[in-house]
A = this chain, B = another copy of it.
Amino acid sequence: MKFVPVIICGGSGSRLWPVSRSAHPKPFIQLPDGSNLISKTFSRALALNGVEQVVTITNRDLYFKTLDEYGAAAPEFTNLSFVLEPFGRNTAAAVALAAQEITRVHGPDAVMLVLPADHLIEKQAAFTAAVDSARELAAQGWLVTFGVQPEYPETGYGYIQKDIDKPLGGGFKVKRFVEKPDLEIAKSYLETREYFWNSGMFCFRAGTLIDEMKLCAPDVLDAVESCLTESGEMKGVSHNSLHLDSDSFARVPDVSIDYALMERSQKVVTVPCDIGWSDIGSWNSMSELSSADEFGNRIDGEVVLHESNNNYVQSRRRLAALVGVENLIVVDTPDALLVAHKDHAQEIKAITARLKKSGHCAHLDHTTVRRPWGTYTTLEEEQRFKIKRIEVKPGGSLSLQMHYHRSEHWIVVSGMARVVNNDRAFLLNTNESTFIPAGHTHRLENPGLIDLVLIEVQSGDYLGEDDIVRFEDIYGRS
């Protein structure tokens, strides 16, 4: 029987601002071990038994970024499919879309494993065992949830109550789902030992999912089916991909799979598991990934501490000094700084909400922006000039382009560039430069085997990123 992991890579992780941004959300942020949640999720899926293909549902702007992470984690695994969303539309839409696609390709008996890309699971063997149990139950026609044994009375998670009278395979039928409880109720859940954290992972036959949605959420299924008939492949994407049509996707109800289906269906079971699960939902849980010093401080970067206890500090680019403070979260990025009390870690999302409202760009992306060909970092920006550091991966190529309002000086500081500058094409070696006047068609490529690093100095009356005419692009962006 076909078994297909489906990775859902969405969510903004606004409680992890300023490291998490709209264009660089939680699955991609660097963990203390140097890795990130999306690549861990991918590796975890590949380590399961009998995985031939992985389906990923994500925003179309995250496609290249996701591909980079997959390539770094497992370059040899290339049987990837993507469902690319124009915007987020909650999990019911994403799961239904994946089920339809998997049914179309593999038939209704294929078993899907839905994995959010922004969770951490520390015990791979226990996870594999839980999935194996879930697969058996899924093959029998159950919608399987994974119930995580609670370790403390968390009020930020949903809970699943098992029906102790109805054991089933390695699991239990589900009695009910509960939204985030208050502390007293969460404590009582912990005592009864009938309740589990709802991990947000699911396993089921694609056909079961569709049949149950027909019963419980027909509006979602209908809207998803209409959307599929309007959607097609994405240009410039090398993998099997479905690029969702914006207008019809916007008509899919914005509901979670829990609400639309799991809380209503009679076929829901749960497999209890102890897999070291965490959703890294705040800087507090993130901080627990690094070890504490004797004063309870957890440090990521160059930090000087004086009379300070129980703080978490992430400052990877600059020196940070703490004097006489405790229980703080200090997170430093090149363009934004956060100082929060640990007891208020959940309220950090209020900051991103306010930045969004005021149109401030610090919720959108970092000063270093990832592109399919590499990255660029804005080092300095003033009214009439802008300085960027551009890194192009081996084989990477910026689009053939032209600007109306700005000229550009390019200086290669590391590696080798191939340059098109109007009617000339030539190689530019380390420590060589070229000047591209406004109106000149130009292209930058890295023909070499090591990263190309180039300093670009832009001059002109208008320096907006939208002053670009793209003629050709190997990533389909023209």
The residues of A with any CB-CB pair to B shorter than 8 Å are 17-18, 304, 306-307, 315, 318-325, 328, 330, 332, 334-341, 343-344, 347-348, 350-351, 354-355, 360, 362, 379-380, 382, 384-385, 387, 389, 407, 409, 411, 413-414, 430-431, 433, 435, 453, 455, 457, 459
Contacts and interface: CB of A to CB of B under 8 A. Distances in A.
User: 6 smallest A-B Cβ distances: which pairs?
Assistant: A324-B344, A323-B340, A385-B413, A324-B341, A431-B459, A319-B336
Contact of A459 (B339, B379, B407, B413): B413
Given A306-B351, A385-B455, 13 more contacts: A17-B321, A304-B351, A306-B350, A306-B354, A319-B336, A320-B339, A321-B340, A323-B347, A323-B351, A328-B339, A337-B337, A385-B453, A409-B409
Nearest to A343: B324
Contacts of A355: 304, 319
Nearest to A302: B360
Copies per complex?
A: 2
A323 B348 contact: yes
B433 A413 contact: no
A339 B322 contact: yes
Contacts of A379: 379-380, 387
Main secondary structure of the interface of A (DSSP, over half): strand
Contacts of A348: 321, 323
Contact of A319 (B318, B319, B328, B362): B362
B321 A336 contact: yes
Contacts of A453: 382, 385
Contacts of A306: 344, 347, 350-351, 354
Given A307-B347, A413-B384, A455-B457, A336 B324 contact: no
A360 B319 contact: yes
A409 to B, nearest CB: 5
Contacts of A332: 337
A457 B385 contact: no
B407 A409 contact: no
21 contacts: A17-B321, A304-B351, A304-B355, A306-B351, A321-B336, A321-B337, A323-B338, A323-B339, A324-B340, A324-B344, A324-B347, A325-B328, A325-B341, A339-B339, A379-B387, A382-B414, A382-B453, A384-B413, A385-B414, A409-B411, A433-B433
Given A321-B18, A351-B321, A379-B379, A431 B407 contact: yes
A336 B414 CA distance: 28
A119 B324 CA distance: 26
B347 A321 contact: no
Contacts of A380: 379, 389
Nearest to A355: B304
Contacts of A389: 380, 387
Given A319-B360, A347-B323, A457 B411 contact: yes
Nearest to A431: B459
Given A435-B433, A455-B387, A459-B413, A318 B347 contact: no
Nearest to A322: B339
Contacts of A18: 319, 321
A323 B341 contact: yes
A404 to B, nearest CB: 15
A262 to B, nearest CB: 33
Contacts of A315: 337
Contacts of A360: 319
Contacts of A330: 337, 339
